[in-house]
Amino acid sequence: MIGEIALDTNVVIAYFKGEVQVKEKLLAFSKVYLPVPVAGELLFAAENSARRQENLVLYREFIHACRVLNITRRTATLYARIRATLKRRGRPIPENDLWIAPLCVEKGLLLASRDEHFREVPELFWERW
């Protein structure tokens, strides 16, 4: 096993869709983290789905098996700095991603995502899955 990783919502969805490469990569890590905005997005996806009850059970079990990263004062400071930097560069990113990135920076975690805009975030360790 090779350490720790944080997951973006799109990677978790790919996992649930049975993408073999994502499953294999995920199994290589000893600890899996979910930034709290990701947990919220997953629960929203379940609430908003045609198979609401089934997906709520599935997503809650997955969230429970991971470590959820909660927002702290340090996260808020990093959020402000990252958002201001991206605004100055003319490179804004979606609001939830503005919270996901500083949570990963704060904890020094690699973020697995399919969103290319994360490469714009200073200090973020990011990998496309």
Split into its structural domains, the chain has a count of 1
Q: pLDDT digits over 86-109, tens only?
A: 999 999 999 999 999 999 999 999
111 domain residue, yes or no: yes
126 domain residue, yes or no: no
Q: How does residue 2 score in pLDDT terms, banded at 50, 70 and 90?
A: confident
Task: Identify whether the C-beta of residue 14 lies closer than 8 Å to the C-beta of residue 114.
Answer: yes
- Return the pLDDT at 1: 54
128 domain residue, yes or no: no
100 domain residue, yes or no: yes
CATH number, domain at 10? 3.40.50.1010
27 domain residue, yes or no: yes
124 domain residue, yes or no: no
61 domain residue, yes or no: yes
Domain of residue 41: give its range.
4-116
Coil, helix or strand at residue 38: helix
The stretch 62-78 carries a mean pLDDT of 97
129 domain residue, yes or no: no
